[in-house]
Structure 1
Amino acid sequence: MLKLKRILQEMGQPQAALAQSLNLSSATIAQLVNHNLWPRRLDGEVLRGRIRGFLTESGANDAAIANAFDVVDPPCANTAGPALVKEPSGEDEPMLLPKQTLQPATRKAFGLFRDPFDELQCAQDMWVSPEIRYVREAMYQTARHGGFLAVEGESGAGKSTLRRDLVNRIAENSDPVMIIEPYVLASEDNDAKGKSLKSTHIAESMMAAIAPLSKPKSSPEARFAQLHKALKESHAAGYRHCLVIEEAHSLPVPTLKHLKRILELEVGFTKLVSIIMIGQPELGVKLSERNADVREVVQRCERVKLMPVEHSRLGEFLTFRFDRVGKVLGDVIDEGAIEATAVRLSQPTRHGGRDGTVSLLYPLAIGNLVIAAMNLAAQLGVPKVTADVVKGV
């Protein structure tokens, strides 16, 4: 670590101000002050002169400027030395990064022609762990044979990928299943925030998919009777029907209750509709056993969760992703960087008086962090992403 870090703190100057003055990224400055890693594309002596100029303009004294580039080791946690690193600077980057894009210079530096974390082009691009395989199969069996399933997962956990995989799998297998997906654009759980998805809207979507040439009846009762008849005729023709609702955490409670009635549409002993709800963890809150308003739904609905990538499988996940774009993981990222990624995407927590860790190792978060680290490595001119580069993002 450079003394420059402490000097900036003493002057009340954020590293972001130095980065802006030098026309460099905050991540590059973080690598410089924390790890003495200088961007190779710039002349080091010229850059030092510009930093001295910034310090002079900010009111630093001559002694501080002269020693700014001295390297000092941060004190150990059990020493009484000044906690240069432990002091909160107010500059910590958010743990979860926004969408990252591979820069042209990064593609050239690592010989990549495709983004390893880009949208999947086919089912073979999907990494499947034992946990994901279970959720995937639960969705498929529900679509094929009936049932009521709720799939919960954090943003970026792969929920939409599994929905696309289900639709693709049924099409490839020529399964006689109609997938019905109501539009959920601007859907909210109450009309004060946006448009709530009501059972009438769902019925209209089902009619449009099953009997697109039929004119919907005007009254709700007649419309639902018309839907029931259409479902019976479609079933007689050999089809099953699966209602898939994304963003299901935005469903209002009355609509959740009405889904049970849709599930009860039947001919003889055969249920005519299976239902798969896909949503964020808020869906689980609505489906809580303590919520008396939806107890009839809770009793009939199976719930599965999409868990984060296991720490021990992170290397496997990254290897798969880079293999899909024709690149050996070890040529881009070293082992230390993989461990640093796992640590960076772990959040300390305290529950029931005990310290613990919450994993944020979801595919989207992993991809954004790794791409940001690759962009930084290319900017610094280092041949591989290392642990220090990941820490500097």
Structure 2
Amino acid sequence: MLKLKQVLQDVGQRQAALAESLKLSSATVAQLLNHGQWPRSLDKAELQARISVFLVDVGANDADIAKAFEEVDLPCANTADPALSQEPSGEDETMLLPKQTLLPTTRKMFSLFRDPFDELQSAQDMWVSPDIRYVREVMYQTARHGGFLAVEGESGAGKSTLRRDLVNRIAENNDPVIIIEPYVLASEDNDTKGKSLKSTHIAESMMAAVAPLERAKSSPEARFAQLHRALKESHAAGYRHCLVIEEAHSLPIPTLKHLKRILELEVGFTKLVSIIMIGQPELGVKLSERNADVREVVQRCERVILAPVEGSRLEEFLKFRFERAGKALAEVIDASGIQAIAARLSQPSRSGGRDKQVSLLYPLAIGNLMTAAMNLAAELGAPVITADVVKGV
């Protein structure tokens, strides 16, 4: 660690202020202060001079400036008299990164001709854990044989990927299933915030998928009778029908209740429509057993939760993604870096009076953190991502 970090604390300046002055990223400055790693792309003497100018401007004395670039060892855990202040700076809080993009210099350094975390191009690019395999199979069986299913997951957990996989799987297997996906752009749970998805809109989507050449009847009652008849005719032709609603957490309560009516469309003992709702955890709140408004839906709807990647499977996940991109994982990140990724994407929480760790190891979050770490490693000239690089992101 450079003594520069203590000098900044003494003059009341944050690392971010120094980074802004030097026109460098906060991660680069963090690596410099915490680990003494100077950016290889910049002249060290020139950078020291620019830092010295900054320190003069913020009121540091000559003695502090003279020793700022000396290195000091971090105290051991049992050291009674720490050399530097151990007050939390607030700069190392766990947070999710925004969308990250591999820089050209990063691609060149790691010889990556394909982004390992880019949008999946085929089903073979999809990593499947036991948890994902279960959710995937439940969705497929619901589409093939009927049922009412709610799939819940955090943003970036892979919900849209599973929806795409379901559509692709049915098409590849030539299964006689018509997938119906209502248009949900700008859908909200009330008309004040946006456009709510109503049962009439869902019925229109179903008619367009099952009988696209028929002209819709004018009255609501006639339209639903027309839909029921069209579904019966389609079923007689050998087809099943699966209604897939993404962003289902934005469904208004009345529409949720109306889905039960759609589920009840039948011929004899055979249900004509199966329903799969896909949404964020707010969907689970709406489907709570304590919500009397949707009790009829709750009693009929199976709920599955898309869990984060298990920490023990993080290396397996990363290895799969990089192999699909034609790169060995060991050439990009070492074991300490993988452990640091797992630690970074965990955050403390308190529930029921007990402290616990909440995992944020979702594919999107992992990809963004890995991409940022690769960019930083390339900037620093580090051959592989280590724990120190991850901590510097």
Normalized against structure 1, the TM-score is what? 0.97
Q: Which residue of 2 aligns with 1:372?
A: 372
- Does structure 2 conserve the Cα–Cα contact (< 8 Å) formed by 1:14 and 1:91? no
Q: CA deviation at 1:84?
A: 4.2
Q: Which residue of 2 aligns with 1:308?
A: 308
Q: Deviations over 1:259-278 (max 9, x none)?
A: 00000000001000000000
Counterparts of 2:80 and 2:252, CA distance in 1? 56
Question: Over aligned residue pairs, what C-alpha RMSD do you find?
Answer: 1.3
Alignment of 1:146-295 (within 5 A): 146-295=146-295
Q: Which residue of 1 aligns with 2:63?
A: 63
Q: CA deviation at 1:70?
A: 2.0
Q: Deviations over 1:139-192 (max 9, x none)?
A: 000000000000000000000000000000000000000000001111111111
Q: CA deviation at 1:59?
A: 1.0
Q: Which residue of 2 aligns with 1:131?
A: 131
Q: CA deviation at 1:18?
A: 1.2
Report the AA paired with residue 68 of structure 1: A
Report the AA paired with residue 308 of structure 1: P
Task: Report the 3-state secondary structure (helix = DSSP H, G, I; strand = E; otherwise coil) of the residue aligned with 1:100.
Answer: coil
Alignment of 1:51 with 2:47, yes or no, is no
Q: Deviations over 1:20-59 (max 9, x none)?
A: 2212111100110011111112121221111111111111
Counterparts of 2:42 and 2:328, CA distance in 1? 29
Counterparts of 2:190 and 2:330, CA distance in 1? 50
- Does structure 2 conserve the Cα–Cα contact (< 8 Å) formed by 1:342 and 1:361? yes
Q: Which residue of 2 aligns with 1:116?
A: 116
Report the AA paired with residue 248 of structure 1: A
Task: Report the 3-state secondary structure (helix = DSSP H, G, I; strand = E; otherwise coil) of the residue aligned with 1:167.
Answer: helix
Q: CA deviation at 1:73?
A: 3.1
Worse overlay, 163-172 or 80-89: 80-89
Counterparts of 2:139 and 2:84, CA distance in 1? 51
Q: CA deviation at 1:222?
A: 0.8
Q: Deviations over 1:275-301 (max 9, x none)?
A: 000000000011011111111100100
Counterparts of 1:79 and 1:95, CA distance in 2? 30
Report the AA paired with residue 220 of structure 1: P
Task: Report the 3-state secondary structure (helix = DSSP H, G, I; strand = E; otherwise coil) of the residue aligned with 1:39.
Answer: coil
Q: CA deviation at 1:85?
A: 6.4
- Does structure 1 conserve the Cα–Cα contact (< 8 Å) formed by 2:94 and 2:347? no
Report the AA paired with residue 122 of structure 1: S
Counterparts of 2:82 and 2:351, CA distance in 1? 31
Alignment of 1:362 with 2:362, yes or no, is yes
Report the AA paired with residue 306 of structure 2: L
Q: Deviations over 1:181-211 (max 9, x none)?
A: 0011111111111111100010011011111
- Does structure 2 conserve the Cα–Cα contact (< 8 Å) formed by 1:256 and 1:297? yes
Worse overlay, 162-171 or 4-13: 4-13
Aligned residues: 393
Counterparts of 1:333 and 1:321, CA distance in 2? 13
Report the AA paired with residue 355 of structure 1: D
Report the AA paired with residue 201 of structure 2: H
Q: Deviations over 1:222-255 (max 9, x none)?
A: 1111100110011011100000000000001110
Q: Which residue of 1 aligns with 2:389?
A: 389
Q: Which residue of 2 aligns with 1:144?
A: 144
Normalized against structure 2, the TM-score is what? 0.97
Q: Which residue of 2 aligns with 1:88?
A: 88
Report the AA paired with residue 88 of structure 2: P
User: What 5-or-longer segments of structure 2 have no aligned partner?
Assistant: none
Counterparts of 2:192 and 2:10, CA distance in 1? 48
Report the AA paired with residue 304 of structure 2: V
Identity %: 81
Counterparts of 1:278 and 1:80, CA distance in 2? 54
Q: Deviations over 1:337-366 (max 9, x none)?
A: 000000000001122222210000000000
Task: From the superposition, tell whether residues 290 and 83 of structure 1 become closer, same or farther in structure 2 (CA, over 3 Å).
Answer: farther
- Does structure 1 conserve the Cα–Cα contact (< 8 Å) formed by 2:332 and 2:384? yes
Runs of 4+ in 1 over 6 A off after TM superposition: none
Alignment of 1:336-351 (within 5 A): 336-351=336-351
Report the AA paired with residue 114 of structure 1: R
Q: CA deviation at 1:82?
A: 5.1
Report the AA paired with residue 222 of structure 2: A
- Does structure 2 conserve the Cα–Cα contact (< 8 Å) formed by 1:3 and 1:69? yes
Report the AA paired with residue 218 of structure 1: S
